[in-house]
Amino acid sequence: MRFKKVSSLVTLIVSLFSTATFAQRTDSIPVRHDVTLPQAHKGTLEIDSLLLDSYVRLPENIRKFYLEARSVFEENEVDFTDERIVAVAVKNGIPLISGPMLGDLKENSVTIWFRPASINLIEIEIADLAGKETKLYIFNPSVAGQAERIVLGNLSSATKYSYSVKVQGSEVAEGTFQTTSKTEETSELRLAFASDFHKIGLHNPNLMDAILERNPIAMLLLGDLAVDDRDTKLSMHRADYLLRDVSQPWKKLSANVPLYAAWDDHDYLNNDLSGLPEGVSNEDREALRKLWSENWNNPENDAAGIYFNTQIGAVEVIMLDTRSFRENDRRGEYNSYLGAAQLKWLKDVLAKSSAPYKLITSGTMWSDYISEGKDSWGTWDTLAREEIYQLIETENIPGVLLLSGDRHGARSFTIPRNPGFEFYEFGPASLGGVPGPEAIAKDSSKQLFGYLGLGLKAFGEFTFTIEGSSPQVTFRLIDEYGSIMEEHVLSYDQLIPQNK
């Protein structure tokens, strides 16, 4: 089955239309200080301060805390446990410096991440929405400002819960989540995904509300998210994470949707940088990986990089580290993109996975249709990419979908393989609405749709239908106002390699 392709003219019209000014979907008084991508890349105090009021004005105590803490980060090489950071949090009445952020969702647990501003007692109370189950978790932080993760366990599968976080008896945060079904009991599952906030989109209440209204069980974030071009200045990485964490729209999303994140170039070092470019040491790379892990709530991984896999109901999620393992002096050679250890790990995960569906994320594009594969698999390691494709085909591994980021805008392609079989790649790199390359490939015969990046603030969604004689997955591209821009249905049979 083939799908319709959006023409270049329609793409241009949609892009221009999406840059128009609309009334804000928020009860707060709109302020609107628009920040461009080049400005976000600069990340000066003036520009980051404008981001605080991108849509609505931040509460004054949170504003003061951010500005005072940012000043400490800018002038010193410190982390969040520094007494000056903790002191300005306490002074401004900030009980949680960061969080809560949900992640690592299972059928009987979820992990909650936060950064307390004190060592005062923390209580997390959860209750199922049917009123049958209530649990209390008590936690004593050992270090103020240190990121903490608590597993909320012994829960029931396929159950909706609400929770509240209290510090010394006062509620400081709340949210909801739903545990996954058991794999054999999954009937339908919805996941959101996209990339390229570029700091800008983190403050967009319309976008966050649109995601929440779709009620995904979890969301995958595929790079270029919170940190923007900070190179090896670790304290400024932390300042960018703080800018994320004081955003009220972001807090609303992260407290109610479990998140899984992978990085790309701007999160890692700077535009198009990877591996160990000149001036970057192995110690720098390890410090960047550690800092990333401290500021996200991904499943734990014993490997050297930030890649991981996890199962969410009937879906195996495989998120790759397509940046820090690249070998810059071997561009185009085998193992120059993922590295030998990560490639072996990926093959093992694919071979062993019993999940009906497998999502494999890449920070940059799997295909080479846009920008001639610039900074993607095609310019780095076509041999390893071919090995991955062949493994899926020769082992008849069903249900594989390819996700990608980096190329601003939103596009989808087929990747033809054996007669009667093709891979499907989806790349909504549109969380920030920033400009990017062409929407439609020169050879558009393998393209399902394409939208320019400028002004496009949208995310992707998969709805997996498992039960019945005809299981299928539906992809939707949804804009910041909840409008469905694209909808494509793939039967499960289309995702089964055809060895002929």
Among candidate residues 154, 172, 346, the one with its CA nearest the CA of residue 163: 172
CATH tag for 8-15+181-495 (out of 3.60.21.70, 3.40.50.1370, 3.60.15.10, 3.40.47.40): 3.60.21.70
- For residue 100, whether the previous peptide bond is cis, meaning omega lies within 30 degrees of 0, is yes
Residue 1 predicted with pLDDT over 70? no
Residue 4 predicted with pLDDT over 50? no
H-only helix segments in 170-233: 205-214
pLDDT-derived band at 499 (thresholds 50, 70, 90) equals low
Residue 380 predicted with pLDDT over 70? yes
Task: Mean pLDDT check: name the lowest of 115-119, 245-249, 313-317, 369-373.
Answer: 369-373
Alpha-carbon distances of 42 from 78, 175, 198, 284, rounded to whole Å? 21, 34, 11, 21
Scanning the structure block, which residue is given the tokens 């009667």?
A: 420
Residue 243 predicted with pLDDT over 80? yes
The confidence score (pLDDT) of residue 93 equals 97
Strand 422-429: give its sheet, edge to edge. 308-312, 315-319, 357-362, 400-404, 422-429, 409-416, 447-451
Among candidate residues 485, 454, 482, the one with its CA nearest the CA of residue 12: 454
Percent of the chain whose predicted confidence (pLDDT) is above 70: 93
Residue 31 predicted with pLDDT over 70? no
pLDDT-derived band at 490 (thresholds 50, 70, 90) equals very high
Residues near 131 by Cβ (< 8 Å), separated by ≥ 6? none
Q: Give dist(CA 438, CA 407) in Å, integer.
A: 9
Identify the architecture of domain 99-178 in CATH.
Sandwich (2.60)
The 8 Å CB, 24+ separation contacts for 126-135 are: 126/152, 126/155, 126/161, 126/162, 126/163, 127/161, 127/162, 127/163, 128/156, 128/159, 128/160, 128/161, 129/160, 129/161, 129/162, 129/176, 130/159, 130/160, 133/159
Residue 14 predicted with pLDDT over 60? no
- CA dihedral angle for residue 87, residue 111, residue 248, residue 140, rounded to 10 degrees: -30
Q: Give dist(CA 237, CA 263) in Å, integer.
A: 13
Rounded to the nearest angstrom, the gap between the alpha carbon of residue 106 and the centroid of all alpha carbons in its chain is 18
pLDDT-derived band at 469 (thresholds 50, 70, 90) equals confident
Give me the phi and psi of 493, to 5 degrees please: -60, -35
Residue 372 predicted with pLDDT over 60? yes
Strand 160-167: give its sheet, edge to edge. 134-139, 122-128, 160-167, 170-178
pLDDT-derived band at 3 (thresholds 50, 70, 90) equals very low
Give me the phi and psi of 362, to 5 degrees please: -130, 135
Give me the phi and psi of 306, to 5 degrees please: -105, 10
Does the fold of domain 99-178 match that of domain 8-15+181-495? no
Residue 278 predicted with pLDDT over 50? yes
Q: Give dist(CA 400, CA 134) in Å, integer.
A: 38
Task: Mean pLDDT check: name the lowest of 117-121, 264-268, 301-305, 319-323.
Answer: 301-305
Domain boundaries, the chain: 8-15+181-495, 30-91, 99-178
Nearest 5 degrees, angle CA 352-CA 489-CA 314? 30
Q: Give dist(CA 495, CA 427) in Å, integer.
A: 18
Model confidence pLDDT, tens digit, residues 334-354? 999 999 999 999 999 999 999
Residues 69-74, mean pLDDT to the nearest whole number: 98
Residues 435-455, mean pLDDT to the nearest whole number: 96
More confident residue, 324 or 182: 324
In DSSP terms, which residues pair with 105 in a beta bridge?
Answer: none
Report the run of H or E that residue 424 belongs to, with start and end. strand 422-429
In DSSP terms, which residues pair with 103 in a beta bridge?
Answer: 111
Write down the mean pLDDT value for the chain.
92
3-state secondary structure of 425: strand
The confidence score (pLDDT) of residue 30 equals 52
Residue 359 predicted with pLDDT over 90? yes
**Token reading at 482:** 């909840």
Model confidence pLDDT, tens digit, residues 119-174? 999 999 999 988 888 999 999 999 999 999 999 999 999 999 999 999 999 999 99
The confidence score (pLDDT) of residue 462 equals 98
190 neighbors 162 (Cβ within 8 angstroms): no
Global pTM reads: 0.94
